[in-house]
Amino acid sequence: MSPLLIGAIILLALIKLYKWSTFRPEGCPPGPPRIPIIGNYLYLLLLNWNHIHKATSWMCKYYNSKIISLYLGPILAYAVNDSEAIKEVLYSSSYDGRPDLLLGRMRHPELKKKGIFFNDGPIWKEQRWFFLRYLRDYGFGRRFECLENVMQEEITDLISLMKEGPKYSHEHKYAKKNQIRIPYAISPFTTNSFFHMLFGQRYSRSEHAELLKFSDAAFAFTRNTNEYGRLISMLPWVRYIFPGLSGFKDLFEVNIDQYNFFKKRVEDRIATFKGDEDDMSFLDLFIKEWKQGKHDPESFEHDQFIMNCLDFSLPANVAISIQMTMFLQTLIRHPNIARNIQAEIDEVVGQCRLPTLDDRKNLPYTEACIREILRLETLVPSSIVHSSTEDTKLMGYNVPKDTPVFPGLYELHLDENLWDNPMSFKPERFLDSEGKFSVKLDKSLPFGAGRRLCAGETFARNMMFLISSAFLQNFNFHARPGQKIPLPHTHPVGIAVVPDEFWLSYTPRF
């Protein structure tokens, strides 16, 4: 074969490769050329390994577009960084779907698509409705005196741990004199409050070692994924060739640890449930509904319930303690703000009792500070991925059915058109001219919105208020000599932000 012919073949192959790599369907947003097999995923990692949302932000600026298209392996997905378009994705039923990714399936021992987070369709609708409707009867999503009392008891135990030091052997892992290891130290107490609704029982402090095993697995899953699901979500066959290197082995193991934690409790209760007792917990109610056989058997079965428990527990187990970690670190960087919160609490509540949810309306600055950390340190910067349920349009671009869409909550929370000096911690932005907290001034969406709104929003907001106000009432927080306090937006990001281990130092106020 002549050199000229070989050169012509190579040239034609390069032209074909170029056309393939730059191809976008008609009406598709701009995006970078793709690489065979992995698509654009490598570009994201090279731009910002730990913060995929910052990589997509850079790409949007590069292409001068608030929405870009990305090939994640063979899958064409959209990243949306325009505030109005983000809201459209969140609120429109056209984007209520979830892509069927291995990341969602690997939480089940048989890789079945179960639960609520990563599910869609009729089962998701029925299960979400049932959980939200009947968990309310046990205090989830509303004010409920019994649940608030449980929260206060858990916070009292946490404050006792901080004042008196470790009492049980497992507590030495996350507590010592005037120091606690966060976010892990907070997690057992928030999780216990949720389990009171779910199971009708809690773990005593002496039994928290069991909760820690569950928490460790939940944190490992949250940390060791990334915002776009890791390569195994895009190329699931990789797990057969590189089970360890791909992350599949470790992620699967920690997910099954979480699954088994709930499996044991659900099956133990099913075995002892007689059907004639009162519904002491949400679990009892679910078992009764399941045994009556009035619902779709694919939706109401104990395997689905186990996964639902896992999904609904995640905010209580992981999210609240993570947000509290970033809040407390922020207060150490801004001691004047901490003093302002303490002055407000001292004036309204005093020191003879813990703050309650009734005090919330009279602690506007405290509430504003909590809202501001939820805005500034977005827990899930790229949201949980949505999927289009029909052919539609977004910002003039075509969105084919089943297209994964990542609404950039991080961008919405730092949009200069919505927020004055958005990179600064300014709780005053949520206060009106009279110094009162105004929900109308809060344009943030830390829990998402629409029908995919985080179901635990009310529980999380209530728990954060009670813990924050109790902490500031009882302690002064400070850095140890030489200790570096992480700056905003620098924490590692998995499927959500997960701060590195941090030993929080404090001194009791009285």
Mean pLDDT by 10 residues, the chain (510 residues): 79 84 93 94 92 96 96 95 97 95 91 90 86 77 81 96 95 95 95 88 91 91 88 89 90 92 88 70 81 72 85 86 97 97 97 95 98 97 96 97 97 96 97 95 96 89 96 96 93 94 95
Residue 9 lies in a domain: no
Q: Are 409 and 384 in contact (CB under 8 A)?
A: no
Note whether residue 72 is domain-resident: yes
Q: Tokens representing 433?
A: 């001219």
What does the DSSP 8-state code read for residue 454? -
Q: Give me the domain span that covers residue 415.
A: 17-508
For residue 182, the one-letter residue type is I
What would you measure as the largest C-alpha separation in the chain, in angstroms? 93
Q: How far is CA 289 from CA 211, 268, 297, 302, in A?
A: 28, 17, 11, 11
Within-domain flag for 361: yes
User: What is the amino acid identity at position 464?
Assistant: M
d(CA 233, CA 84): 28
**Position 8 in a domain:** no
d(CA 256, CA 251): 9
Structural domains of the chain, count? 1
Query: In whole angstroms, what is the distance from residue 509 CA to residue 126 CA?
Result: 49
At residue 8, the pLDDT reads 80
DSSP 390-422: SSEEETTEEE-TT-EEEE-HHHHHT-TTTSSST
CB count within 10 Å of CB 148 equals 17
pTM of the model: 0.93
- Other CB atoms within 10 Å distance of the CB of residue 453: 14
For residue 212, what are the β-bridge partners?
none
Residues 143-189: tens digit of each pLDDT: 778 889 999 999 999 999 999 999 999 999 999 999 999 999 999 99
CATH value at residue 120: 1.10.630.10
In a domain, 12, yes or no: no
What angle separates helix 208-224 from helix 302-314, to the nearest 10 degrees? 80
- Give the distance, in angstroms, between the CA of residue 451 and the centroid of all CA atoms in the same chain: 16
Cα separations in angstroms, 473 against 159, 305, 347: 11, 39, 11
Is 216 among the domain residues? yes
Condensed to tens digits (0 to 9), the pLDDT of residues 86-130 reads 999 999 999 999 999 998 899 999 999 988 889 998 888 888 888
Residue 279 pLDDT: 59
Q: What is the pLDDT, as a whole number, of residue 66?
A: 96
Structural domain includes residue 504: yes
| Angle at CA of residue 505, ends 501 and 510, nearest 5° | 145
In a domain? residue 317: yes
